[in-house]
Amino acid sequence: MTSEHHKENFLTKYIWSTDHKIIGLQYGITALLWLLFGFILMLIMRYQLAYPETPIPIVGALLGEGGLLPPEMYNSLGAMHGTIMIFLGVVPLAFGAFGNYFVPLQIGAIDMAFPKLNAASYWMYFVGSIIMVTGFFVPGGAANSGWTSYPPLSNIATTGQTVWLCGMVFLITSSLLGSINILATVIQLRAEGMSWMRLPIFVWVQFITAFLLLLAFPPLEAASVLQLMDRLAGTSFFMPSGLVVSGVALSNTGGGSPLLWQHLFWFLAHPEVYVLILPAFGIVVEVIANNTRRPIWGYKSIVYAGIFLGFMSFIVWAHHMFITGMGTTMSSFFQTTTMIISIPSVVILTALFMSLWGGSIRYNTPMLFALGFLPMFGIGGLTGLPLGLAAADIYLHDTYYVIGHFHYVVAPGTIFALFAGIYYWFPKMTGKRMNETLGKLHFFFSLIFMNGVFLPMMAQGLAGVSRRLWDGGEMYAHAAGVLYLNEVMSVSAWLLGMTQIFFIVNMIISLLGKKTGEDNPWQATTLDWSATTSPPLGHGNFEVVPTVYRGPYEYSVPGADKDFTPQNEKA
Amino acid sequence: MDIPFTVKDRPDTGLYNGKLGIWLFLASEVMLFGGLFSAYVFLRTGAESWPVGSDILNVPMATLNTIFLITSSVTMVMSWASLKLNDFGKFKMYLGFTILLACGFLVVKYFEYTAKFEHHLYPSTNNFLGIYFTMTGLHVLHIVGGIIVLFYFLVPGNKMWQSDPDRFVNRIEIVGLYWHFVDLVWIFLFPVFYLL
Amino acid sequence: MSEYTTEEIHHHVKTYVMVFVALAALTIVTVAISYLDLGVVPAVILALIVASIKGSLVACYFMHLISEKVTIYWTLLVTLACFLVLMFVPLSTMLAQAKI
């Protein structure tokens, strides 16, 4: 790609840009907006759960008669909340934004391997996300069969489900293009001296994530095509014979299997959860190494654990299907692999805790979020263990326990890590610093309210309250004792929402603030901080393409004159 | 500054970026068609009864199609080899034949599909036809995509042979790899649906 | 990227022609064995073996896999492992269903 210094107008520089940093920002801004939107959907749901069949304030008129939230709409909000948070929010932010922006910088490259493909992947994501949301405007509303879209329900659902499937095809294609780019970039464009074992952990985990997306997403694309055929062409891939809906026998030929969808869906969706957590691990490693002023403990074990985790993630998926009647042989197989896959996570978490030992810890905002991640991910991971064992899972499946488990990992888990990344890399992206006081307020209140929302879910789940219930468990006599927690969780959720105002205000005033003129305010060792063009980084990233002489976390090297030694500093 | 290894091979991997890129893409395509083949196996094994392919589908037409695609694979790789031997004329001839054979495949498929519809055999008729139409339909879409790209390199895009010949040869190699993969999928689709 | 000499290309061309002949012949074989009265399982196995041979010829010679680089081999190996899991594991859960 020749560097033609043709005249760039606003469109080519900021809209159709092929520069990985602009594309990273496009992904980031779009993803943060979708995260906010998906969050608001949940706030509406939580009003219904706290005060059943009471008109929803502010947005009630949009939702139903008299401002009341009808059950089908509640189900739409639930399905779309999950879909939007995962596919429009977290993955585009963790992989599309952070991956695109910082992988080339950290490996010493001037851009991604395929810049035009990069732009294409962003715009496919953008179009796919618009398609997804138009579901709210079609007759019958948005998809309402869960983010998992199980047939036969999803097959007979209203038009919104077809819209969901079309949106997924675009989003999956976007992901595939992005994965190809990250993989080719890391393999081919590492700077001289940047061997595999000198890569920052952030790059390693993005690499593994890209492999997961590349190989796990296509079966879901296949399944989406099959479900579209069922819905539009009258096939019966997922429809068993003899289905009767509302007293009327369906006219399709039958002979299909709802379990086929579940297998193809979870073949993607299980690796998908590792896609959600791996970039978070990477960011936490970067921030902890930087703010303990010592090397990461167990670099190699983290790398090998990550690779092992990647491989194992392909053979555990049916732990989401323990209640489908598989025999003891297959059930034992999946329980075994699921127990084994908890080991690499423990290795990584242990390495992160050990990395704090003997460190000179700086408690700035990114570090607080990274530290908060550790016990929160710990709770998330530990609560997953009973779910991985069939005997306990048969009781806990589809209860609030599951919702509590996965939200702990993703919300005070991944999202905290993503906040850490934003606070940490803001100076590199803008040349300015975010306000520390607002940042700390953002952290402490988020931590408190996250636990206020998700800890009671464990109690409700153990008491047998099912998920996806519009009435929040009111119909169950056995749940009576834990129903009061609905209001507790809802109030925590609304307060959690208000806490994000600290973050939004901080972003705005920081962006409007003065540049600090510092290239490396955190005194970090990785190549992104030694990029020789000042922030915001210019075209080409490096005035002189770096050569790498040392590992990524050489902090407090004995005998060195400063407590950090950049990777491109000669031995 | 230019992105390195777009034309030259990176020394330690021995690859140029585009070649790695297309193989990664093909890996994802293996999983896409793999998902559909897995669905086929799952549906057929769980079915009470399953028709014999050759009773419903037209074996001679599909055999002809198989020959078309295999030949198109040869002409595709010959077009690349011609460029390596600096014979632009032969390159265009072989690429043209590849496109022609691909169009021939589509024509045969058109007659096959319309014949089915005339006999009231649709995807919704039974799961055999459902998965047959879905998988061959997706394959047809891949052929169409391939034809578009091949045509681009035959006509508007061939100027790069003048401006950056090494890069052009690489692009032909890359599209060739895609084309061979499309042939490969058919090599499995043909016996699975028509003969088993 | 001119890793091949003119001579090597001419040698390759000979190979391409031979592979084409082999593929055409194997296509005839594929159709021919479908006329044999085999049970489903032997028919499937035989058909897959022939298809795999044809596929390998296309991959190894037309796609030059036989002389490809280690990175590509590793990528395809991982893909193959995932493909095999996808083909056999869902089927296994169906075949080994719980007896109620």
Write the pLDDT tens digit of every residue in B92-143: 999 999 999 999 999 999 999 999 999 999 999 999 999 999 999 999 999 9
Q: Which of B176, B174, B177, B178 is nearest to B17 (CA)?
A: B174
- Residue C82 is nearest to which of A215, A263, A327, comparing CB atoms? A215
Q: Which of A553, A541, A549 is nearest to A569 (CA)?
A: A549
Helix (H) or strand (E) holding A78: helix A71-83
Q: How many residues does chain B have?
A: 196
- A142 vs A115, A125, A139, A258, C26, CA distance in Å? 34, 18, 8, 21, 51
Would you state the structure tokens that stand for residue B189, as one six-digit string?
A: 């689709």
Start-end of H helices in C1-100: 6-34, 40-57, 70-95
Confidence bin at A485 (pLDDT 50/70/90): very high
Which position has the higher pLDDT, A285 or A53? A285
State residue A534's pLDDT score: 63
Tell me how far apart the alpha carbons of residues B14 and A356 are, in angstroms, rounded to a whole number.
41
Q: Considering only residues 168 to 197 of chain A, which have any Cβ-Cβ distance to chain B shorter than 8 Å?
A: 176, 179-181, 183-184, 187-189
Q: Considering only residues 530 to 569 of chain A, which have any Cβ-Cβ distance to chain C shorter than 8 Å?
A: none
- B10 vs A69, A203, A344, B32, CA distance in Å? 59, 20, 33, 29
Tell me how far apart the alpha carbons of residues B17 and A369 are, in angstroms, rounded to a whole number.
37
> Facing residues of A466 across strands?
A399
Contact present, A401 and A462 (Cβ < 8 Å) = yes
Please tell me the distance in Å from A194's CA to the nearest CA on chain C: 17
Map tokens 């093909």 to a residue. B26
Helix (H) or strand (E) holding A248: strand A248-249
- What is the DSSP-derived secondary structure letter of residue A56? P
List the single residue in B with minimal CA-CA distance to C17: B74
List the chains bordering chain C where 3 or more Cβ pairs fall under 8 Å. Answer: A, B
Check if A64 contacts C (Cβ < 8 Å).
no
Check if A268 contacts C (Cβ < 8 Å).
no
Exposure of A1 in the CB half-sphere (CA atoms within 13 A): 17
Check if B158 contacts A (Cβ < 8 Å).
no
Contact present, A524 and A564 (Cβ < 8 Å) = yes
Average pLDDT over residues A80-101: 98
Map tokens 């988020």 to a residue. A446
Tell me how far apart the alpha carbons of residues A87 and A171 are, in angstroms, rounded to a whole number.
7
The full DSSP string for A441-489 is HHHHHHHHHHHHHHHHHHHHHHTTPBSS-TTTTTT-GGGGGGTTHHHHH
Tell me how far apart the alpha carbons of residues A278 and A380 are, in angstroms, rounded to a whole number.
14
Q: Which of B101, B106, B96 is nearest to B137 (CA)?
A: B106
Please tell me the distance in Å from B156's CA to the nearest CA on chain A: 19
Contact present, A453 and A402 (Cβ < 8 Å) = no
Distant-in-sequence, close-in-space partners of C58: CB < 8 Å, separation ≥ 6: B73, B180, B183, B184, B187, C19, C23
Coil, helix or strand for A320? helix
Beta strands in A21-137 (DSSP E): none
Confidence bin at A288 (pLDDT 50/70/90): very high
Of the listed ranges A59-73, A431-445, B78-92, the least confidently predicted one is A59-73
The amino acid sitting at B7 is: V
Confidence bin at C98 (pLDDT 50/70/90): confident
Look at B9 and C47 and tell me if their CB atoms are within 8 Å.
no
Compute φ and ψ for A523, nearest 5 degrees.
50, 60
Average pLDDT over residues A48-59: 92
Compute φ and ψ for A356, nearest 5 degrees.
-80, -25
Q: Is residue C56 part of a domain?
A: yes
For the A22-239+254-530 domain, the top CATH level (class) is mainly alpha
Map tokens 């468990």 to a residue. A473
Beta strands in chain B (DSSP E): none
Tell me how far apart the alpha carbons of residues C96 and A37 are, in angstroms, rounded to a whole number.
43
- Residue C93 is nearest to which of A187, A264, A330, comparing CB atoms? A330
Would you state the structure tokens that stand for residue A28, as one six-digit string?
A: 């980031």
* Angle subtended at Cα C89 by Cα C85 and Cα C94, rounded to the nearest 5 degrees: 160
Contact present, C47 and C34 (Cβ < 8 Å) = yes
pLDDT tops 70 at residue C88 = yes
Tell me how far apart the alpha carbons of residues A78 and A94 are, in angstroms, rounded to a whole number.
22
A contacts of B21 (beta carbons < 8 Å): 113-114, 117, 180-181, 184
Tell me how far apart the alpha carbons of residues A303 and A308 are, in angstroms, rounded to a whole number.
9
Q: Please return the burial class of B122, using the count of CB atoms within 10 Å of its CB with bins 0-12, 13-18 and 19+.
A: middle
Tell me how far apart the alpha carbons of residues A497 and A491 are, in angstroms, rounded to a whole number.
10
pLDDT tops 60 at residue A2 = no
Q: Over A480-500, what HEC string results?
A: HHHCCHHHHHHHHHHHHHHHH
Tell me how far apart the alpha carbons of residues A68 and A213 are, in angstroms, rounded to a whole number.
40
Spell A365-394 as b/e; 16+ CB within 10 A means b.
bbbbbbbbbbebbbbbbebbeebbbbeebe
pLDDT tops 50 at residue A481 = yes
For residue range C55-77, list pLDDT tens digits in order: 999 999 999 999 999 999 999 99
Check if C12 contacts B (Cβ < 8 Å).
yes
Average pLDDT over residues A377-383: 97
- Mean pLDDT, chain B, as a whole number? 96
State residue A533's pLDDT score: 64
C contacts of B31 (beta carbons < 8 Å): 79, 82-83, 86
Please tell me the distance in Å from A214's CA to the nearest CA on chain B: 6
List the chains bordering chain B where 3 or more Cβ pairs fall under 8 Å. Answer: A, C
Check if C17 contacts B (Cβ < 8 Å).
yes
List the chains bordering chain A where 3 or more Cβ pairs fall under 8 Å. Answer: B, C
- What is the DSSP-derived secondary structure letter of residue A230? H
Tell me how far apart the alpha carbons of residues A234 and A251 are, in angstroms, rounded to a whole number.
9
Domains in chain B (CATH in brackets) are 17-195 (1.20.120.80)
For residue range B17-59, list pLDDT tens digits in order: 999 999 999 999 999 999 999 999 999 999 989 999 999 999 9
CA-based radius of gyration for chain C: 19
Please tell me the distance in Å from A54's CA to the nearest CA on chain C: 45
C contacts of A216 (beta carbons < 8 Å): 82
- B141 vs A569, B35, B106, B144, CA distance in Å? 52, 17, 10, 5
pLDDT tops 50 at residue B187 = yes
Check if B162 contacts A (Cβ < 8 Å).
no
List the single residue in C with minimal CA-CA distance to B45: C91
Map tokens 């391409």 to a residue. C16
Average pLDDT over residues B142-146: 98
Domain ranges in chain A are 22-239+254-530
Contact present, A519 and A425 (Cβ < 8 Å) = no
Maximum Cα–Cα distance for chain B, whole Å? 63
List the single residue in A with minimal CA-CA distance to B39: A260
Average pLDDT over residues A389-417: 97
Look at A315 and C92 and tell me if their CB atoms are within 8 Å.
no
B contacts of A257 (beta carbons < 8 Å): 42-43, 46
* B to C CB pairs, distance under 8 Å: 129
Of the listed ranges A400-414, B73-87, C18-32, C35-49, the least confidently predicted one is C35-49
Domain range for C90 = 6-95
B contacts of C5 (beta carbons < 8 Å): none
Q: Please return the burial class of C5, using the count of CB atoms within 10 Å of its CB with bins 0-12, 13-18 and 19+.
A: exposed
Average pLDDT over residues A403-414: 98
Check if C30 contacts B (Cβ < 8 Å).
yes
Average pLDDT over residues A317-323: 96
Tell me how far apart the alpha carbons of residues C90 and A264 are, in angstroms, rounded to a whole number.
9
Map tokens 């549906």 to a residue. B43
- Residue B63 is nearest to which of C31, C44, C69, comparing CB atoms? C31
Coil, helix or strand for A142? strand
pLDDT tops 60 at residue A254 = yes
- Mean pLDDT, chain C, as a whole number? 91
The amino acid sitting at A21 is: K
pLDDT tops 70 at residue A104 = yes
C contacts of A311 (beta carbons < 8 Å): 78
pLDDT tops 60 at residue A214 = yes
State residue A62's pLDDT score: 85
The amino acid sitting at B194 is: Y
Average pLDDT over residues A97-103: 98
Strands A244-245, A248-249: pairing kind: antiparallel
The domain total for chain C is: 1
Would you state the structure tokens that stand for residue A189, as one six-digit string?
A: 């464009």
Look at B124 and A237 and tell me if their CB atoms are within 8 Å.
no
Q: Considering only residues 124 to 183 of chain B, which have any Cβ-Cβ distance to chain C shorter than 8 Å?
A: 166, 169-170, 176-177, 180-181, 183
Spell C30-65 as b/e; 16+ CB within 10 A means b.
bbebbeeeeeeeebbebbeebbeebbebbbebbbbb
State residue C37's pLDDT score: 84
List the single residue in C with minimal CA-CA distance to B82: C9
Tell me how far apart the alpha carbons of residues B36 and B29 are, in angstroms, rounded to a whole number.
11
Look at C34 and B191 and tell me if their CB atoms are within 8 Å.
yes
Check if A240 contacts B (Cβ < 8 Å).
no
Residue A300: CB atoms within 10 A of its CB come to 9
State residue A535's pLDDT score: 66
State residue C10's pLDDT score: 87
pLDDT tops 50 at residue C1 = no
Compute φ and ψ for C97, nearest 5 degrees.
-65, 155
Tell me how far apart the alpha carbons of residues A219 and A267 are, in angstroms, rounded to a whole number.
7
Tell me how far apart the alpha carbons of residues B44 and B34 are, in angstroms, rounded to a whole number.
15
Q: Is residue C61 part of a domain?
A: yes
